[in-house]
Amino acid sequence: MTAADKPGLAGAVTRFWQRTYAADYLGFTLLLVAYMLVQFFIEPFHRMFSLDDITKQYPHALIERVSSLQNIIYGGALPLAFFVLWSLITRAGVHKAQVTILGFLISITLTSFLTDVVKNAVGRPRPDLVARCKPVKGTPMHELVTIAVCTETDHHTLHDGWRSFPSGHSSFSFSGLGYLALFLAGQMHIFRPRTDFARVLVSLAPLIGAAMVAMSRLADYRHDVYDVTCGSLLGISIAYFSYRRYYPSLKRAKCDEPYPSRAEYTQTGAGKLGDEEQHLRDTEEYSLEDFTHDDAEMRPLHSGTKDHE
């Protein structure tokens, strides 16, 4: 007898843990708490710098093209609103709506956490560091100096000058909008044979938005190309990782449906085996039969034209 088969409270808790996404929600909560702790209580490592380093002498933009709040709206709030509306309009099942939104929340939170951890550990100076620092008069121009020469009194403005790598705007936008792009690609079967190109463009639209956010960081001199590129790759990689935890590959015939719930997998007996076998059949990749089916639909039109001739 397994722990889940035992009667009483222990068995009920075990069954609940095994058949629901309680572990995922617990992990998400712990990750969110860890992110908040890193965000508010950890200061970055402060690398030494030189005042004559031209890569650190760009002006400090007081008004950003895409502010942090706007980035949260573009990469977080809007995709989340889309998932909620999509669930209501399409009447998606509770399981599908749950794993879609849960995967999205994990994607943006995990990306934010890892981005901040790396930022603080690396302590890479931003391109506008000298303007932020406002070094004291008489600071040597051709020597490496520390944060001690800075006169900026605003704590966030000064210390944020050593949080250049990787770009947080880039990683967050690509984790949120990248997840949305993967979801749209799966729902519209963009890798199905002869899928119209309009669906591909729709699925790529969120990535274009994320790229625009990332490039705005170059125009504001908050990051260089290296920061933005690495941040973007980090965000899209975590988005893909989070999406694939709940959805099959985009090459699968049933890529628009998430993996069966844990409750289905924990069933015993022949029902469980049948569910798993059916799931494997449903998630086979597109095959030549898809081309044959399309050709069969088009064949009457061609044959009719030939007979008429």
Distance of CA 278 to the CA centre of its chain: 30
The boundaries of the domain holding residue 103 are: 25-36+77-126+162-261+281-299
Look at residue 10 and tell me if it is in a domain: no
Structural domain includes residue 248: yes
Tell me which residue of 209, 211, 210, 202 sits closest to 184, measured CA to CA: 202
* Residue 276 domain-assigned (yes or no): no
* Backbone φ/ψ region at 125: left (φ over 0), alpha (ψ -120 to 50), beta: beta
Domain count of the chain? 1
The verdict on residue 216 lying in a domain is: yes
The per-residue pLDDT for range 146-172, each reduced to its tens digit, is 999 999 999 999 999 999 999 999 999
Whether 210 is in a domain gets the answer yes
* Residue 133 located in a structural domain: no
* pLDDT tens digits, 18-71: 788 999 999 999 999 999 999 999 999 999 999 999 999 999 999 999 999 999
Q: Residue 136 domain-assigned?
A: no
| Parts of the chain with a pLDDT under 50 | 268-274, 276, 288, 291-309
For β-strands 49-50 and 144-145, DSSP reports them as antiparallel
Residue 299: predicted pLDDT: 47
- Domain-located, residue 188: yes
Residue 4: what pLDDT? 53
Q: How many other C-beta atoms can be found within 10 angstroms of the C-beta atom of residue 218?
A: 17
Q: Two tokens at 291? A: 């081309």
Please report the pLDDT score of residue 295 as a whole number. 47
Scored b (16 or more CB within 10 A) or e, 242-265 reads bbeebbbebebbbbbbbbebbeee
**pLDDT at residue 208, as a whole number:** 98
